[in-house]
Amino acid sequence: MDILNVMWGGGSAFVSVHNVHREILRLSGSSSIATLLLTSGEAEPLLDVGNVSALGFSSKRIKGRGLEAFRRWFDRRRLAKWLSMQELRVVVLDGLGVASYLLPLLVEQMSARVIVLFHGNKHPTPAQVRMLQLFPADRLELVAVSETLAIDLEHQIGIRVLGGRIALEPSVLRLSLLNREEALLALGLEGQVRGRIIGAVGRLVTEKGFDLLLTASSQWLKSHPEDHLVLVGEGPERENLGALATQLGIADQVHLIGHVPTVRRLYRAFDLLCIPSQQEGLGLVLPEAIIAGVPVLATDLPVFREQLGGSIGLVGAGQRAAWELALSNYLQGDLNTLRDAQQAGMAPERAWENFIGFYRELLR
């Protein structure tokens, strides 16, 4: 085995991260890649670049105390023995959680370079900082999926963090897109929507800010009964969001679609995409939508400014009035102007070339 890619788990909550790792691993040029999941679940995107196996541990078994800590000692001993038998050139670890479990076991794996890939800011503990600082520096690379995240993490950890901004291959994504009618059919909305569709894609969790989007869009939807809001994704906030839509009097115009594995093919169903996140390590929804030709309103976060090369279409974080105004202004105006400006700022083809160059060199 040449490259080992270790991730926390599988399933719908991890699909975006799996897609990112797949695109990176493809650039290695290696024909001997394996992915190991610490917990369980499906990781179908990673089957494109090698085999996938799972240890099947629970989070409690990985991080718990008492009896679980005792079990963990034996688990890690067995895993360390298995690692020692592999001829590894590169080990890719998905974030701090995976690094905390695996990195101490790789100290003796002298032939392997280790890359810890950060997708979000998890605020490392002092123990995690020490772990990263004490690992042999000539064998460790810390990489964040955006320059913004890299700067933040480097300040916290005190050692170099490379910014490897994630990008998507524009031509491949565009070729995969369904037209509007096909996308509406795939979403189960064919014949149900006559007006404009405000879309949102992501896990239904508090930090994604979908409650703000519902509230901010409610007045527009009430005054434009032919328009609809479509949320694609699953998560613990689904019931609360449905109740909020009812409370706001817009339940008939709000569609909670659930998880759709092929969502990146469906962006042309939307006239405008909204990303009201409170925080993001990168956020693939933004480049996916812009490459698909869909204009975007997003929270004014540094990582979105980095991707857009400016602030057009960005709205103050948590500011309901600002979101209401932005929705009204852009939906009444020329959405094509917003789309064109964002495509020019993002420059997807150039971003993809930079992505290829960075990760090929990293995995050399």
Asked if residue 142 and residue 200 are part of one domain, the reply reads no
Give pLDDT, residue 99: 95
Asked if residue 140 and residue 182 are part of one domain, the reply reads no
Total domains, the chain:
2
Give pLDDT, residue 53: 95
Give pLDDT, residue 66: 85
Q: Is residue 360 part of a domain?
A: no
Q: 304-331 pLDDT, tens per residue?
A: 999 999 999 999 988 999 999 999 999 9
Asked if residue 330 and residue 273 are part of one domain, the reply reads yes
**Range with lowest mean pLDDT among 68-72, 132-136, 154-158:** 68-72
Q: Is residue 267 part of a domain?
A: yes
Are 64 and 39 spatial neighbours (Cβ–Cβ below 8 Å)?
no
The CATH number for 116's domain is 3.40.50.2000
Domain boundary among 164, 187, 213: 164
Rounded to whole angstroms, the Cα distance separating 280 from 301 reads 8
Q: Which residues contact 9 (CB under 8 A, 6 or more apart)?
A: 37, 38, 39, 40, 41, 54
Are 282 and 165 spatial neighbours (Cβ–Cβ below 8 Å)?
yes
- Give the strands of the sheet with 314-315, arranged side by side: 254-258, 228-232, 197-201, 272-275, 296-299, 314-315
Asked if residue 177 and residue 149 are part of one domain, the reply reads no
The strand ranges marked E within the chain are 3-7, 33-37, 51-54, 90-94, 113-118, 140-144, 162-163, 197-201, 228-232, 254-258, 272-275, 296-299, 314-315
For residue 121, pLDDT beyond 80: no
Q: 50-109 pLDDT, tens per residue?
A: 999 999 999 899 988 888 888 889 999 999 999 988 889 999 999 999 999 999 999 887
Asked if residue 237 and residue 97 are part of one domain, the reply reads no
Give pLDDT, residue 64: 85
Asked if residue 204 and residue 139 are part of one domain, the reply reads no
For residue 364, pLDDT beyond 90: no
Asked if residue 290 and residue 255 are part of one domain, the reply reads yes
* Alpha carbon separation from 118 to 6, 74, 141 (Å, rounded): 13, 28, 11
Asked if residue 139 and residue 122 are part of one domain, the reply reads yes
DSSP state of 233: B
14 confidence band (pLDDT: 50, 70, 90): confident
Please give the residue range of the domain that contains residue 303: 173-347
Asked if residue 181 and residue 140 are part of one domain, the reply reads no
Give pLDDT, residue 279: 85
Tokens found for residue 179? 């037209």
197 confidence band (pLDDT: 50, 70, 90): very high
Asked if residue 111 and residue 55 are part of one domain, the reply reads yes
Q: Is residue 277 part of a domain?
A: yes
Q: What percent of the chain has pLDDT over 70?
A: 100
Give pLDDT, residue 261: 86
How remote is the C-alpha of 252 from its chain's centroid?
Answer: 30
Asked if residue 314 and residue 231 are part of one domain, the reply reads yes
214 confidence band (pLDDT: 50, 70, 90): very high
